Structure 1
Amino acid sequence: MCLSQAAPNRYTYNILIDCYGRAHRPDLGLAIFGRLLKTGLGQNVVAYNTVIDGFFKEGEVDKAYDIFREMKKQGISPDVVTYNSTIDGLCKSKAMDKAYDLFRKMKTQGISLDVVTYTSTIDGLCKSKAMDKAYDLFREMKKQGISPDVVTYNSIIDGLCKSKAMDKAYDLFREMKKQGISPDVVTYNSTIDGLCKSKEMDKAEMVLQQMLDAGVQPNNITYNSLINGYSSLGMWKESVRMFKDMSNCGLTLVPDIYTYGVMINNLLKVDSFEEADNLFSSMEKSGCAPDSRLLNGIIRTLLRKAEVAKAGNYLSKIDENNFAVEASTASLLLSLFSMEEQMNLGHIFVGLS
């Protein structure tokens, strides 16, 4: 019996477009979409959504936005999925003015906004430092009966912390727990870092304990914030305690170059030169290689304390690794070395005098 071959229908084309999008080939999806338009099957919102989303995910923002505008010209009404993809893509590409305009158009056109719409827009506004707008949207969202999720809270809390609105951020942190939304490691880290930067170390430690009690594992970001917070206040013993707590976590947590850098410079500031050298050696033995920034920072700290010989030891490490001497480091060196010594160290000072 001879079976006639069925012609592809709209759903076949949509599936192919989606597959190419998932395979990171939105260009091929667009080609299939072009064929769909020529078949007489008509344009459909699902196909447009898939192509738009595919280009945004590949960072092809202009193409995605052009297709979004073409869709409206063809009389195809974008739905909430279209708007969510477009707003999210524009926010991530820092085209916040366009994203916010689309958000407002959704409202005027009577399209129901959901948690994804609000969260994407709030996150974009936070990252563009438009915190008043972001906070207003967050409150509006709740008034509309749309419950923020952990991602929404993370965006607004992090934004408020970075804009130094710590009271609001901490209130939202406590509010989400009352609402039965469990903070994750991102929530805890943002809140702890914000409290540390606002010098509220007691609260920061309290939040750390809540994090541990909730079974959320701290990471390098958590401890680095606490170590840096105590260090900025000159509370060296407390920063050392945090460093030891971090190191005692075994293989779960390993101090990184930022952690070591803060600790070594702290030890140098209180003239604990031998301990600083020992910690630097431990860092190298652990497989954490020093970078140019760390070495330059150590040298500057030592030079400001007139520890020229010790600075020379670290200067040789810069030379061994073919790192560059930063301009601020070179300036300090030039002010301390005689002209004859500068001549002897000419390979270091070339282009920096």
Structure 2
Amino acid sequence: MALSKTALTRRSLLKSGAGAAAGLIAMPAIANAQAADAVKLSLEFRIYGGNAPMFLAAENGIFRDLRLDVTSDGSAGSADTLTRVANGSYQFGLADASAVAEFAGRNPEAAPKIVMTVFDVFPAVIMSWKRKPIKSLKDLAGVKLGTSASDAGSKILPALLARNHIDPASFTRMNLDVKLRETMLMKGDVDATIAFDYTALFNLVDNGVKIEDINLLYFKDFGFNFPGNSLIASREMIEKNPDLVKRMALGCARAWVAADRDRKAAIAAVTKRDKLLRSEVEVPRISWVLDRLIKTPEVKQNGIGYIDEKRLTDGLVVLADGLKFTKPITVADIYDGRFLPPAADRKFA
């Protein structure tokens, strides 16, 4: 009997061993099925409060729960991000919608597409001092206006001047390096400058300027009601891996909703990546972005990423005039709305 028990025990052990071995063989397949997709995201500019939600999502599990392993890198701007996504070095990016349209006008076959808008408001402004405010385009008369050769606002300004019957010779347009923009305004070398509000305004704040001393005239107030920063993907990614695009759009939406709930946590996450950032500047910056550029009445009702396509159509007319596209650009050339997440994931509390 003892021999029989021993034999049975050995057979049991052999069976157990075989089962364990089979389990070990199967484990990599299971792990691979659940493995996160490595994603490279090119931000619309340097790392700061304006894109902090991407770092919050990487830290608090939003991306992980969607099987996304996202690495977010700063860029030299939207044009840089568009090039990165178009050439395949990054799968996704955040870029200004007008820059996406400009890229499509120059590179129609290779241009990435917007898969979800983020900023409902185009953040370009004419920034001036409250003591000598530019409250309408007519106030530009006699002014020294700082502009750049690279930013979208400066490029489309002539088209908007024409639409508003403003003589461009009525003011002096001074070309400047965007790195010196705020310095020249503070020194009085220019009376006003074209800039993105959440970038330039808080650069001034970081230099001791009070927000209440600054006047902002938005481009939407004189004829260009286009969205701003948006999540983009390459055409190849959209065609070959739509599931990944869908998950990335969902992660982006959830990231911004989570950042709205806890803005300090979002800034805490991004300051871990760049320890030179100051929370006393970046918390107000992300609050400005959320409250003024994202959470418009339409977005509060419909959720982040909502866009009336007529706004895109109307904006493309202005861009075509200002940027001199070589071929007509349609909404379908720059936007694919199939990946918009469910409203429940996009709505703010």
Q: TM-score, normalised by structure 2?
A: 0.22
Q: TM-score, normalised by structure 1?
A: 0.21
Asked which structure has the greater RCO (Cα within 8 Å, sep 6+), the reply is 2
Structure showing the higher strand proportion among its residues:
2
Q: Please tell me whether Structure 1 or Structure 2 has the larger radius of gyration of its CA atoms.
A: 1
Structure showing the higher helix proportion among its residues:
1
